[in-house]
Amino acid sequence: MAKAHVLVLPMPCQGHVTPLMELSHRLVDHGFEVTFVNTEVDHALVVAALKASSGGEAAALLGGGGSGIHLASIPDGLAGDEDRKDLNKLIDAYTRHMPGHLERLIADLEAAGRPRVKWLVGDVNMGWSFEVAKKFGIRVVSFWPAATACLAFMLKIPKLIEDGIIDDKGLPRRQETFQLAPGMPPLHTSLLSWNNSGAPEGQHIIFDLVTRNNKLNDLAEMTVANSFHEAEAGAFKLFPDILPIGPLFADREFKKPVGHFLPEDERCIKWLDAQPDGSVVYVAFGSMAIFDPRQFEELAEGLELTGRPFLWVVRPDFTAGLSKAWLAEFRQRVAGTDMIVNWCSQQQVLAHRAVACFVSHCGWNSTMEGVRNGTPFLCWPYFCDQYLNRSYITNVWRTGLALSPNADGIIAKEELRDKVEQLVFDVEIKERVRLFKDAARRCVSEGGSSYNNFEKLVNLLSE
């Protein structure tokens, strides 16, 4: 007998779509029928990227047949060409417009003869959807895609207000570094995620969302997280009801597509195959980071200065106003030894024997993928929860180093060069990276804590 029909809903950002797509593949493998709901804009990007990639697996995902995931979409409430990298705007629009659209989608699925949706597996950041689910008698599991410590900070907002660390608008009352609990990453009050997610004038939108979602999460029967116990023992001790099921991955062969918004450049794996073991500096800043031209040039020249081969992911919208002549000259200089791509299969890259280190924005997916593959980090956070993840990497796990800006706020080329050299020759970091890699793999292997928690999730969804 077929298992339940599960609706999966991520927050409309690449870093949220990927882990929920990975989880969806796992649920399909366990016999569940999954409908994955993106916004219309994100759905179009995923479909276009899938069509541009090769292999029958992409077609299976698109088709949504017996072995695939059904893809569905609803509007996000923004005009077609509006900037979806402005989180304040995006959140304001989707919280107001998407509930009605989700209600219509659920009704339409049933009218089309699909099995009745029994469960919603929803991103905690889409807490409004839990209320929609309850209207239809749909049961809810919530999914947290970032560090569990990040959710812990959010859930502890009333205590932070009571202790005078923040005011009732989420803004810091004191400039200090503090720790929620032993073993958790220390964080400066100026780096709380809800105060670093967009323009300051829209900060209240994100803080309101966080406090509202804290309450709505009570509607979920279980909360699961893309993390593992050894990585965040302090956070899981503080919130034992949050179950880690990570680090998530769709399949060990990297064949199942995970909802990328841009087509993967498959040439980079062949290029890596030709490089010596542990020689390549991999550089990627996720889907949201934007660099100004001056910082872009320093980064580019810093990579050159390392004298090591580098693989650098430069999205088409990564920087604006860069001199075309300068960029053409730079590309020409490095063409023989290095590689620049628009996007890649990051999990494949990080699993490759040629990669020496990862210059990263410290998004949580990147962090988990780096940890799972035993890659040391050079931390260059951009916004939101990435400062917290840097604190894990540099202060708690000590599996990487932080890059420090100069007096002008620029990370200079010499800083990048020096830290790369320091990192690749640091024997203690290499050993800790190896220990974390082993721990992550144990957790997801049969009998491991994440494996057992995933079984609990499957059993609940099978009720």
Give me the DSSP letters along 29-68. Answer: HTT-EEEEEEEHHHHHHHHHHHHHS-SHHHHHHHHT-TTS
What stretches in the chain show pLDDT beneath 70?
Answer: 1, 54-67
According to the model, what pLDDT value does residue 82 have? Answer: 82
According to the model, what pLDDT value does residue 57 have? Answer: 57
87 is written with which tokens? Answer: 């989180």
Give how far Cα 329 sits from Cα of 82, 301, 397, 443, Å. Answer: 33, 12, 40, 47
Going by C-beta distance under 8 Å and a sequence separation of 6 or more, which residues neighbour residue 330?
Answer: 300, 304
φ/ψ of residue 33, rounded to 5 = -95, 125
303 is written with which tokens? Answer: 């990579």
Q: Give CA–CA dist 187/193, Å, rounded.
A: 10
Q: Give CA–CA dist 114/170, Å, rounded.
A: 43
Q: Give CA–CA dist 320/318, Å, rounded.
A: 7
This prediction's pTM: 0.96
Q: Give CA–CA dist 320/181, Å, rounded.
A: 41
